[in-house]
Structure 1
Amino acid sequence: MKELVSIITPCYNSADFIEETIQSVLHQTYENWEWLITDDLSHDKTIEIINKYNDPRIKLVVLEKNGGAGNARNKSLERAEGRYIAFLDSDDFWYPEYLETMIDYMQDHHAELVYCNYSRCDEKLQPILKVFKADRIVTFHNLLKTCRLAPVSTMYDTKRAGKFYFPIKSKREDHVMWLNLLKVITEGHPIDKTMAKYRMRENSVSRKKKNIIKDQYLVYKDFMGFSTLKSLYYTANWAMNGFMKYSKIFN
C-alpha cells in the first residue's frame, strides 16, 4: 500500500487564490494524501470556498485566534498522520506529478528530504524570475548561508527524521525549521525538475528583504546560539545570496 503523505497548509484571507491551489492538489497523480488546512481566522470567503469541496481527505480547522503562518502550520502538523510531510501555502501551486515524483525519489534513493525546482510567478501565476533550480545537495552548513528550501517544493520523511515544528517567535520560521531538521539528517537531495509554482505577491513579507535583516540575524543568534560575530557573518552571506536569488529577472 502506498504511504500516506500529509499536506500542511496555513491560510489567511486567500479567497483570490486558493481555488487554484485546491485544484492543483485534487489533480495529483498520487492519491493517498490528507490535506490539513489550518485557517488563521480569515474574514473573506476563504473558508466558504474550501467547504465547497466534499472530499474527506481535506481536513479544515479554523483557529479562534490569529497566530501567524508558523502557528497555523504547527496546528496542522499536530494532526498529521502521514509518513511524508509536504508544505503548500494557500496561494501556491503544484504540477500533477509533484507528490508522486517526490515520494518515488525518496523511496528509490532512501532520501530523508528532497526538494525540486519551482517557478517564481506573479499573482496570476505567470513567471517573473528565472526558475529556482534544485541544483545541489543541501546540508546544515550550506543552508546557513542561503535558504535553498522553500515549503512549496520540499518534502521530508518523518519515519526517518521525526516531525519538526516551526518556532512561532521567529519571522524566519521556515529557515529555522529546515536548519533544525538538517541537524538531525545528513543532507537533502535535489530533483532537477520544475513541479511547483511560488506566487510572489506584492505584499509578501518574504520579499521585503531590507525589513528582515534583523530577523535573519536572530536566526543565528537566538535560535542557532551563535556568537555575535558568527551571526553577523552568516547574515551578511544570507543577504548577499538573497540579493542574487531575487535579482535575476526572467525576461
Structure 2
Amino acid sequence: MDLVSIITPCYNSEQFIVETYQSIFNQTYKNWEWIIVDDCSKDNSVELIKSFNDDRVKLFVQDNNQGAAVARNKALDIAKGKYITFIDSDDLWLPNFLETTINYLENNNENLVYTSYKRVDENLNFALNDFIAIDKINRNRILYNCPIPMLTSVYNASEIGIVKFPDVELREDHAMWIDLLERTKYARAIKESLAIYRMRENSVSRNKWNIAIKQYNVYNKYLRMNIIQSSYYTFFWALNGLKKYGKF
C-alpha cells in the first residue's frame, strides 16, 4: 500500500476530534499519516490529539492563529504520501473511503477523484439529502462553482505535485481546485456516499452574502477577470449554491 497523507487544520475541535480520529483509525486502508496543524486552539483539542497514542498521527501547533489555508499548507510541506487527502476536524469518513478512492485512482490511471457524501447536523442527524458527486469536472466547469469537497477528494501528488492553497480569503479551497485542474484533465466521481459532512450553524460559510463577495474576488482579483466575467461566474456560483442546498 502506498502512503496517504491526510491533511487537517484544527481549531477548537474538542467536541468532534475524537470521532474524526476514530473514523480514520477504522479505515480498511491502513498505510496513512494524519498531519494535524492546530491553529492555536483555546480548548482541549491538542491534549485530546496527543492522547491518541498513534505513531501515524503527527501534530504541529502554530505559534499564532493564521487560518485554515496556512495550516493546510504547513501540513502539505510535511506530507510524504503519494496521495493527498483532506478531512476537517469535525467530519467523518466511512471505513472504506480510502480503499475505494485509491483503488479507483490506481485501477483507472486517474489523478483526482472525489465521492458523494452524507449531510448531517452537528449531532449526526439527517440534514439534507446526500450530495452526489458529478463526474468529469474540468477547469472550465469548476469556474461555475466548486462541487469538489475537501472531505472526499484524493489526488496523486506523485503525478501532479503538491498543490498549495492560495491566499484567497474564505475561498481558498475553490482557488486551489482551479489551480489543480490546470495540472490534470478531470476530477472523476464515485457516486457512493463515503463520508459524513457536519453542517454546523456557526460555520463561516453560512454567511452567504459575505461568501459571495469573497467568491467574486476569486474571479476578479485572483484570476484577474474583468468585472463582467467576474459577475457572470459569481451569478452562476450563487445559482448552483441554491441548487446544492435545495433552495431552487
Measured against the shorter chain, the TM-score band is over 0.9
The runs of 5 or more residues in structure 2 that have no matched partner are none
Q: Shift of residue 223 of structure 1?
A: 1.3
The runs of 5 or more residues in structure 1 that have no matched partner are none
Identity %, equivalent residues: 47
In structure 2, what is the equivalent of residue 79 of structure 1? 78
- Are 2:152 and 1:153 aligned? yes
How do 1:65-144 and structure 2 match up within 5 A? Answer: 65-144=64-143
In structure 2, what is the equivalent of residue 14 of structure 1? 13
1:53-96 deviations in Å (ceiling 9; x for gaps):
11110000000000001111111111000010000000000000
- Are 2:223 and 1:240 aligned? no
Q: Distance in 2 between matches of 1:11 and 1:125?
A: 20
TM-score (norm 2): 0.98
Q: Shift of residue 170 of structure 1?
A: 2.3
1:177-219 deviations in Å (ceiling 9; x for gaps):
0000001111110001110011111010122212211100011
Q: Shift of residue 168 of structure 1?
A: 3.0
| Matched residues, number | 248
Q: Distance in 1 between matches of 2:169 and 2:182?
A: 18
**Bigger shift: 222-231 or 236-245?**
222-231
Q: Is the 8 A contact 2:168 2:218 kept in 1?
A: no
In structure 2, what is the equivalent of residue 175 of structure 1? 174
1:17-42 deviations in Å (ceiling 9; x for gaps):
11110100000000000000000000
Q: Distance in 1 between matches of 2:218 and 2:168?
A: 10
SS in 2 for 1:76: helix
**Bigger shift: 216-225 or 83-92?**
216-225
Q: Is the 8 A contact 1:129 1:248 kept in 2?
A: no
Amino acid at match of 1:40: D
Q: Distance in 1 between matches of 2:207 and 2:130?
A: 20
Aligned-residue Cα RMSD (Å) equals 1.1
Q: Distance in 1 between matches of 2:135 and 2:112?
A: 13
Q: Shift of residue 225 of structure 1?
A: 1.7
1:150-172 deviations in Å (ceiling 9; x for gaps):
10011111111111111234220
SS in 2 for 1:25: helix
Q: Is the 8 A contact 1:8 1:37 kept in 2?
A: yes
- Are 2:197 and 1:203 aligned? no
In structure 2, what is the equivalent of residue 46 of structure 1? 45
Q: Shift of residue 124 of structure 1?
A: 1.0
SS in 1 for 2:136: coil
Amino acid at match of 2:223: M
Q: Distance in 1 between matches of 2:174 and 2:168?
A: 13
Q: Could you list the runs of 4 or more consecutive aligned residues of structure 1 that deviate by over 2 angstroms after TM superposition?
A: none
